[in-house]
Structure 1
Amino acid sequence: MPSLHICSLILCSISAVFSLPVGRDSVCGYKSCPATKPSMLNVHLVPHTHDDVGWLKTVDQYYYGDRNNIQHAGVQYILDSVVDQLQKDPARRFIYVEIAFFYRWWKQQDQNTRRIVTQLVNEGRLEFINGGWCMSDEATTHYSAVIDQMTLGLRFLNDTFGECGRPRVAWHIDPFGHAREHASIFAQMGYDGFFFGRLDYQDKARRMSTKEMEMVWRASESLKPPVADLFTGVLPNGYNPPAGFCWDQSCDDAPIRDDPDLEDYNVDVIVQNFLSTANSQAKYYKTNHIIMTMGSDFQYENANLWYKNMDKLIKYVNALQANGSKVNVIYSTPSCYLQELNLANLTWPLKTDDFFPYADDAHDFWTGYFTSRPALKLYERQSNSRLQTCNQLEVLGGPKSRSGPFGEGDSDTMKRAMGVAQHHDAVSGTEKQHVAYDYAKRLARGWAHCEVLIRNSLAVLSGSEAPRVMCENLNISVCPLTESSHKFSMNVYNPLARAVSWPVRLPVNGSQYSVTNANGKAVDSQVVPLSKSTQEVRRNRGYATGELVFQVEAPPLGYTTYVISLLRDEPPEDTTEHGAPPSIQNKFLKVTFDDNTGLLKSLTNLEIQQTIQLSQNFYWYNASAGNNYESSQPSGAYIFRPNSSTPVIVNKTAQIEVITISGVVQEVTQWFSPWVSQVVRLYEGRRELELEWTVGPVPIKDGLGKEVITRLDTDIQSSGYFYTDSNGREVLERRKDYRPTWDLKQSEPIAGNYYPINSRAYIKDDKRQLTVVTDRSQGVSSIYNGSLEIMLHRRLLHDDFRGVGEPLSEPGEFNDGLVVRGRLLLTLTPPDQAADTHRPLAQGMVLQPLLSFQDGTPSTNSKLEFSGLQAALPLAVHLLTLSQWDKDSILIRLEHQYEAKESKTYSQPVTVNLQKLFSAFKVLGASEMSLGANQWKEDMTRLSWNNEMNVKPVPVSDKDPSPWEVTLNPMEIRTFLLRVQQ
């Protein structure tokens, strides 16, 4: 047996997961596809429903069919009705996508219904497509959360239906633009193809004219083809039926009236219209097969309407073949259609960039949602970090983590909440306000379950069952325990597989404290007076007068403990100085300010004596109300459309407050207006400049919607180029007013140049690179040479007519408008060294240490420090996943986090020994899996495609040095199921 699948008798029980029995006569997958006719145009009718996991209604309301005054939709009735209708004719097919809904429905079914559904799945008549918990957004999601939500759905299908439940096609019919990293993920999960509905209107027109609606998407520059190559098809009608052929109860199209004795008999008209539609569609595709999506949003509550009319359509169209017609209509699925394209053995065009930004008309760019609901976007990102910590501590703490001194805890609730949050109307910010609240409540509920688990695990690992609290509002300096206690301990858990240094700020009321680490060594600290900005954001939720600032050092995949004691019980001394300082600096960076304006003036890397001129300010674009002469399109939750290319400056100068603390942190607070402020920070010993911005409530009494940006203007000669990450992983080159795929006719010079970032963006010239790391997904652009602008907040007064039906004007906690606070981290380096710095910095922003607190000092028998690893992983390697799989096995993913040519130091293969990885348990056996963890890697086969570059598949080789040593190449993620013993 090859080393990819490590031989161990202990693994036999794990293998059973992937060999669930199917019916004796089961014929699913490609073998279940209907026969086609080579000499005819084969029309594949795909009955489907698109069920948003929340949008205008909450997930629960959609499932039960509640609040139909908002939108008539009830998913439980759809599944009931479809299963009933599929039983009436073995030729009928149906696909289902959103496992968050199907999982809930399945749990409510009796054994007889489950048996029927299993038979339908085993016969290929009910086919699962995509298979994730939801159909995720592609612009504002982080790759780790996408992989998790896909794994959640795929595992349920695998456990429930075995091999016949495994999806073979990715299906993203509704997301608003498509990320290259998503295609790479799907390819590595073993998918054979990918279909979507939305792409830029100019791109679509060109592709239709050149018959390039279907292509091979090369989704990685680092992974060797065809590892990240994915056949990709653009659906002809978005995801709706062709005009005139919608037979849902929500539609107005005429049914097929086939009684010739009746006056309104219309079979001939319907058939001729269909033939005309099919032949017209076929002009834009390369084979004698075309696909028609027969369904739409929440359709098939009464599936009989659809199937009765489609049965007739198939019957009457195919009857004309006896008279020489060359059109053949069949019930089909996306995978059966894909198989026919593969059998055609054609050469397909190659795509290497992505599908952003998306516009459906000249002035309608869907680039606003990159930033919409910025507070929810941050909460989702923080929840991802907490989920990874929860997963890890569930493994490290063992069974007592789930049932221990603090009660019953679990990670499943948070996994499902995060799965829902990845939906393309969730983290995207394109939902109604009451639905946004529901997403946040689900994440909070999931975190409450994880908190219990984490307390239990830390009690097991530390030997201390003293009460432990976590403070969720530290970013606005609220934590009752630290504000009131004279002596307390702080546990710092680090979810990264390398040691980290991290600045901590705790709300306090004394003026001096002692801080000691796990070894009893004193740590430099300083109390900083609480800023006016924080007091205004916090309001009456806390009463701290200062913040205790110090740096923590945490071991890899483990925790350490700090003890904090009050020395002087009096308010901190106000050291505020007014007026711009000439500069602040530590041993790595120097920042200068303009004496007249109070704005940033320059940034210097002192290690290499490299300087850029750097000016930063805040602006807002006046959001279009849809009343100018060019277009009636306003800005809204989806669409960004400023009514001018020149933003309004918030203030040309900044009022300055200076707080300089030697040895710990230096800060300058800038006030730009009553609703915009910023703290410029340099922590001692750190190589990045921190900009902590606070924006809101955005004023709207002037009747103007506002899209707020910060712009960094430099003397870097970027020549119209800038760079953005794709879902937090590989970086793509962007160029102003340019698309690699077609000759762009730019109609919106600002919105048409915006792109999503999930963790970082940068500009560079031959010698200097300015990188900006963000704490959430946002929109970014480079409108001017040497500049980067990042959209921080949006408050709008009009709906953008894309279905939400309400303006994006979040009320905030106090009903006067949402206040948002966030951080940007800036680094200045030579381009060839930049990745060495910003890769780990971005990873650290995504997976932040978790702080927990206990009143008093730790007991003498407490273990103050712990690491779950025998040694830190190399910097190039990231432990992407550590999660309990079942009683005796865990799932891990090891990721090479550098691209092939990104770093002279780290873009090299790295070998890791699985047996020497963990300290908390012994690894007894290991088996490699697909990225989605629903197939053994050695069993994974994919369809092969010819492309313009004519790159043939690379045979799988035994590349690992030994059964336990696994090698990671740049950008490679490897997934293993480990059999372990605590």
Structure 2
Amino acid sequence: MGLSVWLLLGVGLLGTPVAGCGYESCPATKPGMLNVHLIPHTHNDVGWLKTVDQYFYGERNDIQHAGVQYILDSVIPQLQADPTKRFIYVEVAFFYRWWRLQTESMQQVVKQLVSEGRLEFINGGWCMNDEAAAHYNSVIDQMTLGLRFLQETFGECGRPRAAWHIDPFGHSREQASLFAQMGFDGFFFGRLDYQDKASRKQLREMEQIWRASASLEPPSADLFTGVLPNGYNPPPSLCWDQFCSDNPIVDDVSSENNVDSMVAYFLEVAAAQAKHYRTNHIVMTMGSDFQYENANLWYKNMDKLIKHVNARQLNGSHVHVLYSTPTCYLQELNRANLSWSLKYDDFFPYADGPHQFWTGYFTSRPAFKRYERLSNNFLQVCNQLEALAGPVGRKGPYGEGDSSVLRRAMAVAQHHDAVSGTEKQHVANDYAKRLAAGWDACQVVVSNALASIGGSKENFVYCNHLNISVCPLTESSHTFMVIVYNPLGRRVSWNVRLPVNEALYLVTDPDGQTVPSEVVPVSNFTWQVRRGRGDATHELIFQASAPALGYSTYTVSKTARGTLRSKLAKRIQEQARPRADAWSSREIRNEHVRVLFSPQTGLLKEIQNLDKDIALPVSQNFFWYNASIGDVDSTQTSGAYIFRPNRSEPIRMAGGARTYLVKNKLVQEVYQNFSSWCSQVVRLYAGQAYVELEWTVGPIPIDDGLGKEIISRFETPLQTDGRFYTDANGREILERRRDYRATWNLSQTEPVAGNYYPVNSRIYIKNKTFQLTVLTDRSQGGSSLADGSLELMVHRRLLYDDSRGVGEPLLEPGVYGDGLVVRGRHLIFLDTVESSADRHRLQAEREFMAPQLVLAPGGGPPFHPGQPSLKQFSALTQELPPSLHLLTLAPWEPSSVLIRLEHQFERGESANGSQPLSLDLLHLFSSFTITSIQEMNLGANQQRAAMSRLKWRPATGAVRHPVAPPLDPLRITLEPMEIRTFVATIQRQGAAKL
């Protein structure tokens, strides 16, 4: 009987029945001995020095020798040959590709190995995502994508029990919270600050409980967390991959026999490691980047190591070595029944040496970081419309569309060398290309869905360059439609800006009523950036309103006077050219905010909140840090990963700015020109309760031979006691203290870089009365280096590699090859401490889930003969309250959808916003009827009622383990920061059924 048949019958080589997967499959350990768990693993970056395709197929080995398909091809036969061997695999993006290329017989072999727990999936995401620059929405999506594939392919045995982030460059508290809510029993990682690690080793706190939420009731967000001893590499001299130069174990009778010395060395290493851990179990990661292409090398030497070390037990040794997995190691730690210390903060910033802070990647590749953020916005729109429209979204009048293309591209983009900005330039180009292909596929879905719901087959147009005022349809058409789709669960108002070539337009809403509109000249800043792309001379501005989870259609038409184009357009444009004396009052204001500027410098001077009758002197300017090229203290340079300025004080961009004012009934804008490569618009729309700063930076000059890291700095008289606040992946807020770490006594060696933290959506400073909050439109590095001061790094261009593997400087060429130009927005709120959360929480949600504009010339035929055109639509029977967010609405199966509801306030953060909320989920949607519903864990790969995590005992305080109450879809209650996930079987009705 062949080997594969034995495996398929569920019988091991020795005829012993297979125990099962997960914890049931774990090998026996020996009480009273030091058990050393060898974990055979490979770390496969989903793009870094090579593209995803190049890594999988083994192309471009001149860059890096790596071929993921060969790793899996090599490991499987080793596992087949010996039932004691184990292997873990992590990156589902690669495994999914490999799996689809296999024969049915090989797939059956792999399924059997998984069912026996010998091939075990750890983590289970599409990639091993970054934890600094990734937004929680995208993290959840990429984890769901990978976990769903494993669940559908391997069933319960494919469900990972342990999270495994061995390579990300610092670790987020929110990431741990999400892992806990996904049902993971523990979390292992490899990188942490060198000072932190030294302290933990001394205190034997390399493993502890991470209390990852200040809002969720323990242990909902508690996660047992372990620091691996050697990063994710094997102990020194014990690497047996084809890329390694360590000696193999020679155990024949020849004169080169080295068994005694190798065993003695191993026992010494194990004993030294055990001193820093609390149980009689330790772990060794046997593998590294793209290893195991020739798995025989590894397993042959590990077999010998296990054999000869364990043989010493006959001579009194108390060390037992075994093949294991993170899951089995975790189980032994749990069985030890110890009490574990608690951690409440996060693991940022990460440094691997005194002058080597990995805080530059918080900002690296800022244009891609923005593209990733916009792509998530569009993916949620695509998901929602496909769920609402049903099969016609995937196959309709505009062809076949597939939201999974963008879903997979977005999942790849979360990799810790993707959105982080730490990849080679050609790889960054590939990530962007993948997102662009996803946009194309989703545009078909959105077009099909809008046509079916709206009843009209329009020629839909997607203008993706509106940030530089380019859109051929609006620039040339006399009449066109603007469909404003709102992905939020409550009505929003949004200021629409469209490039046009006339001065007068009429805008009407879905009811045919005239909407106030204005036309302003395209700024000199935009003319300079777009370099001949598009020829719009003006921008049309109007405020649109769209219902909850729905759309409104606006009609724009040129007026008769508007056809007399050139003279009036030219006159308006000339009147708006920069003139230092163009405005005398030096202020802009609306009904909520007043902004004052210095007459001498043209810089921001003061912000007033007119609703609260409060004012705060606020100055803002641009500065840059010159990047270090090494000095007497260290040869470390600034690069894609590392931020290291050559001095603590940045260089001021300019003492002032040349300014001019554009003002009308809808918007007031102060244009500030700081230099030939740095400008900004300070903007107030009518009804807007915040100040908008639209900055344009680049190409950063490098003619002086110095790399530069550009910051926007705000300075106030607030006494902030060295404290400032940043979000964690767009969710909960963490307090930061300058030159301080909660876990150990910090020896600060880099006063700037060592105080930088990731800012995914907002940063603020406050005293007892006032709070100044800045919202970002992408991930950026930020800090407060002096009381009352706040800064964000917006762009960086560097001339040297930082020696962390990428092998090239962060020198992005941009569209024209002379350097990258980046445009972005900061939103500034001045408020009282008590009421600030209500504003910045809700505005951050609006920005992240912004309305999607879809344009059309109009006049399209009916979707079905006689079907009326629907100019306004909402998929909800009622709006969601402000505190409640529809995080996910996505197709799941042909007749089911995935729904996530989120309470987006923290406990005690807001008097009104932090209250528990209840809603009727069964009757929430108008486009379909929910016929049955299941509540799932956050990753949607296990029913919530079946979720039973390992219980850990904290050193302080008792923890209750409440049982989840029975699901009542008529009354879904959410506590602050809670996310609840449902798979609902639906029956479509109304327009969306067509």
Using the size of structure 1 for normalisation, the TM-score is 0.97
Query: Where does residue 920 of structure 1 map in the other structure?
Result: 927
- CA contact 1:624–1:634 (8 Å) conserved in 2: yes
Give 2:802's match in structure 1, choosing from 800, 811, 828: 800
**For the residues of structure 1 that align with 2:903 and 2:745, how far apart are their CA atoms?**
35
Query: Where does residue 660 of structure 2 map in the other structure?
Result: 657
Give 2:106's match in structure 1, choosing from 113, 121, 124: 113
Correspondence list, 1:307-346, <5 A = 307-346=299-338
Query: Where does residue 601 of structure 1 map in the other structure?
Result: 605
Does 1:614 find its partner at 2:618? yes
Give 1:75's match in structure 2, choosing from 64, 68, 78: 68
**For the residues of structure 2 that align with 1:447 and 1:891, how far apart are their CA atoms?**
21
- CA contact 1:516–1:563 (8 Å) conserved in 2: yes
- CA contact 1:291–1:337 (8 Å) conserved in 2: yes
**For the residues of structure 2 that align with 1:880 and 1:247, how far apart are their CA atoms?**
46
**For the residues of structure 1 that align with 2:384 and 2:18, how far apart are their CA atoms?**
42
Q: Aligned in 2, Cα 1:766/1:231: closer, same or farther, shift over 3 Å?
A: same
One-letter amino acid matched to 1:761: I
**For the residues of structure 2 that align with 1:934 and 1:959, how far apart are their CA atoms?**
19
Query: Where does residue 639 of structure 2 map in the other structure?
Result: 636
- CA contact 2:457–2:860 (8 Å) conserved in 1: no
- CA contact 1:373–1:429 (8 Å) conserved in 2: yes
Displacement of 1:143 in angstroms is: 0.2
Does 1:365 find its partner at 2:369? no
Give 2:478's match in structure 1, choosing from 473, 486, 497: 486
- CA contact 2:422–2:641 (8 Å) conserved in 1: yes
**For the residues of structure 1 that align with 2:686 and 2:378, how far apart are their CA atoms?**
27
- CA contact 1:468–1:854 (8 Å) conserved in 2: yes
Query: Where does residue 3 of structure 2 map in the other structure?
Result: none
Give 1:814's match in structure 2, choosing from 787, 811, 816: 816
For 1:562-600, what per-residue CA distance to the aligned partner results, in whole angstroms no more than 9, with x for missing partners? 000112131431342623642000000000000000000
Query: Secondary structure of 2:421's partner?
Result: coil
- CA contact 2:187–2:226 (8 Å) conserved in 1: yes
**For the residues of structure 2 that align with 1:944 and 1:832, how far apart are their CA atoms?**
37
**For the residues of structure 1 that align with 2:817 and 2:282, how far apart are their CA atoms?**
51
Does 1:695 find its partner at 2:697? yes
**For the residues of structure 2 that align with 1:22 and 1:906, how far apart are their CA atoms?**
54
Query: Where does residue 991 of structure 2 map in the other structure?
Result: none
- CA contact 1:487–1:857 (8 Å) conserved in 2: no
Displacement of 1:714 in angstroms is: 1.1
Query: Where does residue 97 of structure 1 map in the other structure?
Result: 90
Query: Where does residue 623 of structure 1 map in the other structure?
Result: 627
Displacement of 1:26 in angstroms is: 5.6
Does 1:980 find its partner at 2:986? yes
Displacement of 1:416 in angstroms is: 0.5
Query: Secondary structure of 1:634's partner?
Result: coil
Does 1:476 find its partner at 2:468? yes
One-letter amino acid matched to 1:468: F
Query: Secondary structure of 1:359's partner?
Result: coil
Displacement of 1:848 in angstroms is: 1.1
Give 1:969's match in structure 2, choosing from 941, 950, 975: 975
Query: Secondary structure of 2:834's partner?
Result: helix
**For the residues of structure 2 that align with 1:293 and 1:172, how far apart are their CA atoms?**
13
**For the residues of structure 2 that align with 1:821 and 1:466, how far apart are their CA atoms?**
32
Query: Secondary structure of 2:192's partner?
Result: coil
Displacement of 1:952 in angstroms is: 1.9
Query: Where does residue 911 of structure 2 map in the other structure?
Result: 904
Query: Where does residue 173 of structure 1 map in the other structure?
Result: 166
For 1:293-338, what per-residue CA distance to the aligned partner results, in whole angstroms no more than 9, with x for missing partners? 0000000000000000000000000000000000000000001000
**For the residues of structure 2 that align with 1:854 and 1:519, how far apart are their CA atoms?**
18
- CA contact 1:897–1:971 (8 Å) conserved in 2: yes
Displacement of 1:963 in angstroms is: 4.3
- Identify unmatched segments of 5+ residues in structure 2: 1-8, 12-16, 863-867, 989-994
Correspondence list, 1:765-844, <5 A = 765-844=767-846
Does 1:451 find its partner at 2:443? yes
**For the residues of structure 2 that align with 1:522 and 1:63, how far apart are their CA atoms?**
56
Displacement of 1:964 in angstroms is: 2.3
For 1:109-145, what per-residue CA distance to the aligned partner results, in whole angstroms no more than 9, with x for missing partners? 0011101101100111000000000000000000000
**For the residues of structure 1 that align with 2:960 and 2:419, how far apart are their CA atoms?**
36
Does 1:56 find its partner at 2:49? yes
- CA contact 2:458–2:858 (8 Å) conserved in 1: no
Query: Where does residue 5 of structure 1 map in the other structure?
Result: none
Q: Aligned in 2, Cα 1:191/1:121: closer, same or farther, shift over 3 Å?
A: same
Query: Secondary structure of 2:352's partner?
Result: strand
Query: Secondary structure of 1:734's partner?
Result: strand
Query: Secondary structure of 1:514's partner?
Result: strand
- CA contact 2:458–2:859 (8 Å) conserved in 1: no
Displacement of 1:958 in angstroms is: 2.4
**For the residues of structure 2 that align with 1:643 and 1:186, how far apart are their CA atoms?**
38
For 1:356-414, what per-residue CA distance to the aligned partner results, in whole angstroms no more than 9, with x for missing partners? 00000000000000000000000000000000000000011121111000000011111
Q: What is the aligned residue count?
A: 958
- Indicate the larger mover: 181-190 or 827-836: 827-836
- CA contact 1:22–1:161 (8 Å) conserved in 2: no
For 1:29-64, what per-residue CA distance to the aligned partner results, in whole angstroms no more than 9, with x for missing partners? 001001001110000000000000000000000000
**For the residues of structure 2 that align with 1:321 and 1:300, how far apart are their CA atoms?**
30
One-letter amino acid matched to 2:732: E
One-letter amino acid matched to 1:34: P
Q: Please provide the CA RMSD for this pair.
A: 1.2
Displacement of 1:840 in angstroms is: 1.0
Does 1:670 find its partner at 2:677? no
Correspondence list, 1:502-517, <5 A = 502-517=494-509
For 1:671-696, what per-residue CA distance to the aligned partner results, in whole angstroms no more than 9, with x for missing partners? 00000000000000111110000000
**For the residues of structure 1 that align with 2:382 and 2:721, how far apart are their CA atoms?**
45
- Identify unmatched segments of 5+ residues in structure 1: 1-20
Displacement of 1:22 in angstroms is: 9.4
- CA contact 1:959–1:967 (8 Å) conserved in 2: no
**For the residues of structure 2 that align with 1:517 and 1:212, how far apart are their CA atoms?**
62
Using the size of structure 2 for normalisation, the TM-score is 0.95
**For the residues of structure 2 that align with 1:832 and 1:695, how far apart are their CA atoms?**
35
Give 1:847's match in structure 2, choosing from 849, 867, 876: 849
Give 2:650's match in structure 1, choosing from 624, 647, 651: 647
Give 1:877's match in structure 2, choosing from 876, 884, 887: 884
One-letter amino acid matched to 1:177: G
Q: Aligned in 2, Cα 1:206/1:908: closer, same or farther, shift over 3 Å?
A: same
**For the residues of structure 1 that align with 2:496 and 2:861, how far apart are their CA atoms?**
23
One-letter amino acid matched to 2:655: K
Query: Where does residue 869 of structure 2 map in the other structure?
Result: 862
**For the residues of structure 1 that align with 2:222 and 2:10, how far apart are their CA atoms?**
31
One-letter amino acid matched to 1:175: P
Give 1:406's match in structure 2, choosing from 398, 409, 413: 398
Correspondence list, 1:243-322, <5 A = 243-260=236-253, 262-322=254-314
- CA contact 1:225–1:951 (8 Å) conserved in 2: no
Does 1:138 find its partner at 2:93? no
**Percent of aligned pairs with the same residue?**
62
**For the residues of structure 1 that align with 2:536 and 2:893, how far apart are their CA atoms?**
44
Query: Secondary structure of 2:515's partner?
Result: coil
For 1:437-457, what per-residue CA distance to the aligned partner results, in whole angstroms no more than 9, with x for missing partners? 000000000110000000000
- CA contact 1:22–1:162 (8 Å) conserved in 2: no
- Indicate the larger mover: 560-569 or 283-292: 560-569
**For the residues of structure 1 that align with 2:966 and 2:588, how far apart are their CA atoms?**
51
Does 1:421 find its partner at 2:422? no
